[in-house]
Amino acid sequence: MANNYLAKSNTSEIPSATISRLVIYLRILEELANNDIREISSEKLATLAQGSAFQIRKDLAYFGTFGTRGAGYTVPTLLRELRRILGLTRQWNVVIIGMGRLGQALADYPRFVHYNYHLSAAVDINPELVNKEFSGLKVEDIRDLSKIIKERMVDIGFLTVPQKSAQEAADALIQAGIKGILNFSPTIITVPDNIHVETVDFLAGLKRISYYIK
Amino acid sequence: MANNYLAKSNTSEIPSATISRLVIYLRILEELANNDIREISSEKLATLAQGSAFQIRKDLAYFGTFGTRGAGYTVPTLLRELRRILGLTRQWNVVIIGMGRLGQALADYPRFVHYNYHLSAAVDINPELVNKEFSGLKVEDIRDLSKIIKERMVDIGFLTVPQKSAQEAADALIQAGIKGILNFSPTIITVPDNIHVETVDFLAGLKRISYYIK
DNA sequence: TGGTGTGAAGATGTTCACAGCG
DNA sequence: CGCTGTGAACATCTTCACACCA
């Protein structure tokens, strides 16, 4: 891992599956902390995460050594480290693009604050929606997107526009300097390498189910 | 692939990543068909899917040979084959467990019919919701779940209950003979091997974003 | 000729076994 | 003594190169 200076073109990349698992571990640790459990072994954590103890130790090893040999992990410590690794210690500013039903539901979602996500703005192209307010968030004109993103230092965009406008909206976000996009539309959007996109597509999940149960 | 009878314990498993990609190819082919495009090469499809041509040919090769050497693939043919592979040629019956905001939104989602998914029922534990109607779907008592699933031959459950009740609701679904669960709650649910679960968790996606952009 | 289908090579991710340390 | 941390073995997935065929 460290000091293999001679590796051919060592991308030293951490598997994306590891990142997905860290998110799972984080959730479990939060629950353990809520229940005032202070110690956990990789074996027990594996049971809760439906994974393997090897895997957990390997996943964590990419980032450092957080446990105590012979004892296991201290819940609050590991929790703090996972939050740090996942970048959840600072506030992330979010803009919602598209205030249809889904955008409205997201505006009303109560748990963002808990995770240091802040809804900085909501925009839509539809003049009928502009200036309306949802859960205390006023809808602004999409033409002001660039200004909004820059002035309020928005980091992440929730893309909840109809499929047809998804790429266009994504382009506008990127143009304005967004860093990450949570794409709720069932379309592949094209972005530069330095932008990270995660897709939330329940229909895709549904189709995978039909494959497996047929 | 075929006739390797001697393989040690040949699970002959198709990579789950392949299934996820097939779903993507399907979506693209539907769009091509809508635009009356009848021919596509693996190379062009790869561009649209943001993947590689090798990968596409390999993914398809798990299931048969669908193209014409020298020519490429015929869109309607490949479309039909993908639908067959993914099990989208028959109707799937769905029950929604939990008619809160998310359950209501799903009940109102117009595109299920197009994909041969049929909303057979919606249930909730809350007496105030029972007998209410959402988008033409009447909420029934969760105590009747088992009867509903058996009588209406429900295949898939949308789990949209609060986190705390997720496992309990999943158990009820499994008990009643469901085959697949689309889990919208941010919790790992435990199920027997023969039940397939897909999780839709936008908060997890959001956390992965913060990791990558920090 | 052009693009698929596919064994083989290569890269990546997972599992293992055990050394190392509290 | 117990459980973590980790190099090495293994398994899986992806990429490649080219044979093959319309």
The residue that minimises its CA distance to C1' of C14 is A55
HSE-CB at A45 with a 13 A cutoff on CA atoms is 32
Same domain for A176 and A96?
Answer: yes
Q: Are A28 and A70 in contact (CB under 8 A)?
A: no
Confidence bin at A12 (pLDDT 50/70/90): low
User: Residue B1 above 50 pLDDT?
Assistant: no
Same domain for B109 and B196?
Answer: yes
Pick from A51, A84, A117: which residue ends a domain? A84
User: Residue A5 above 50 pLDDT?
Assistant: no
> How far does B50 lie from chain A, in Å, by closest CA?
8
* Residue recorded with tokens 């300097």: A177
Percent of chain A with pLDDT over 90: 91
Residues with CB under 7 A from strand C: A 8, 11, 13, 15-18, 52, 54-55, 57-58, 68-71; B 1, 41-43, 53-54, 57-58, 60-61, 65-73
Residue A59, pLDDT score: 98
The string of pLDDT tens digits covering residues A148-203 is 999 999 999 999 999 999 999 999 999 999 999 999 999 999 999 999 999 999 99
Confidence bin at A70 (pLDDT 50/70/90): very high
User: Residue A8 above 50 pLDDT?
Assistant: no
Across the interface, of A88, A105, A202, the residue whose CB is closest to B210 is A88
A19 close to B (CB below 8 A): yes
Please give the residue range of the domain that contains residue A32.
Answer: 16-84
Q: Which of A193, A187, A144, A194 is nearest to A166 (CA)?
A: A187
Pick from B51, B85, B119: which residue ends a domain? B85
- What is the rounded CA–CA span in Å between residue B200 and residue B180? 13
The string of pLDDT tens digits covering residues B66-119 is 999 999 999 999 999 999 999 999 999 999 999 999 999 999 998 898 889 999
Residue A156, pLDDT score: 98
- What is the rounded CA–CA span in Å between residue A49 and residue A24? 7
**Which nucleotides in chain D lie closer than 7 A to a protein CB?**
1-7, 12-17, 20-22
The string of pLDDT tens digits covering residues A33-57 is 999 999 999 999 999 999 999 999 9
Give me chain A's average pLDDT, please: 94
Contacts of B49 in chain A (CB under 8 A): 188
In a domain, A5, yes or no: no
In a domain, A213, yes or no: no
The string of pLDDT tens digits covering residues B181-203 is 999 999 999 999 999 999 999 99
Confidence bin at B50 (pLDDT 50/70/90): very high
Distance from CA(B88) to C1'(D21), angstroms, rounded: 31
Query: Number of residue pairs across A and B with CB atoms under 8 Å?
Result: 138
CATH of residue A118's domain is: 3.40.50.720
The string of pLDDT tens digits covering residues B133-172 is 999 999 999 999 999 999 999 999 999 999 999 999 999 9
A124 bridge partner residues: A141
Same domain for A74 and A147?
Answer: no
Pick from A59, A84, A109: which residue ends a domain? A84
Confidence bin at B6 (pLDDT 50/70/90): very low
User: Is B210 in Cβ contact with A86 (below 8 Å)?
Assistant: yes
Same domain for A174 and A191?
Answer: yes
Residue A11, pLDDT score: 46
Q: Which of A19, A20, A34 is nearest to A76 (CA)?
A: A34
Confidence bin at B12 (pLDDT 50/70/90): low
Residue A9, pLDDT score: 36
Same domain for A24 and A77?
Answer: yes
User: Residue B2 above 60 pLDDT?
Assistant: no
The count of domains in chain B is: 2
> How far does B143 lie from chain A, in Å, by closest CA?
25
The string of pLDDT tens digits covering residues A122-133 is 999 999 999 999
Give me chain B's average pLDDT, please: 94
Same domain for B41 and B123?
Answer: no
User: Residue A10 above 90 pLDDT?
Assistant: no
Three-class DSSP labels, chain B = CCCCCCCCCCCCCCCHHHHHHHHHHHHHHHHHHHCCCCEECHHHHHHHHCCCHHHHHHHHHCCCCCCECCCEEEHHHHHHHHHHHCCCCCCEEEEEECCCHHHHHHHCCHHHHHHCEEEEEEEECCCCCCCCEECCEEEEEHHHHHHHHHHCCCCEEEECCCHHHHHHHHHHHHHCCCCEEEECCCCCCCCCCCCEEEECCHHHHHHHHHHHHC
